[in-house]
Amino acid sequence: MIKIRRIYDQAEPGEGYRVLVDRLWPRGISKEKAGWDEWMRDVAPGNELRKWYGHDPSRWETFKERYRQELGNRHDLLLRLRDLERAHGTLTLLYSSTEQNINNAVALREFLMKQDV
């Protein structure tokens, strides 16, 4: 099972292994209080794509496609995420965006669920 959760929200039981999937460290939260197990910044969208997207809803579908293309070059990281899910039963992808439905964690989860990684 792969869940998605905002890093600013309090961790809850059953979230398994928690991985921050943002390229930049979230503002206003200390690493000690973040409640994460691992930070995989290299699985996040590249800086150019991240800046282009800017959480503009009109760019969401194009963003997802471009992000999928980037992820095609990061097979080792995708395998690691799948291995963590298998090992812990649940993998929670953490993100910092205020956009709950159109962020990179949502796109990454969607990609992982569709792929046989």
* Number of domains present in the structure of the chain: 1
**Would you put residue 36 in left (φ > 0), alpha (ψ -120 to 50) or beta?**
beta
pLDDT tens, position by position, 47-102: 999 999 988 999 999 999 999 999 988 889 999 999 999 999 999 999 999 999 99
Helix axes 104-114 and 75-88, enclosed angle (nearest 10): 80
pLDDT given at position 80: 94
Q: How far is it, in rounded angstroms, from Cα 26 to Cα 61?
A: 24
Look at the pTM and tell me if it is higher than 0.85.
Answer: yes
Please write the tens of the pLDDT for every residue from 15-45. 999 999 999 999 988 888 888 999 999 999 9
pLDDT of residue 35: 85
Domain of 6, in residue numbers: 2-114
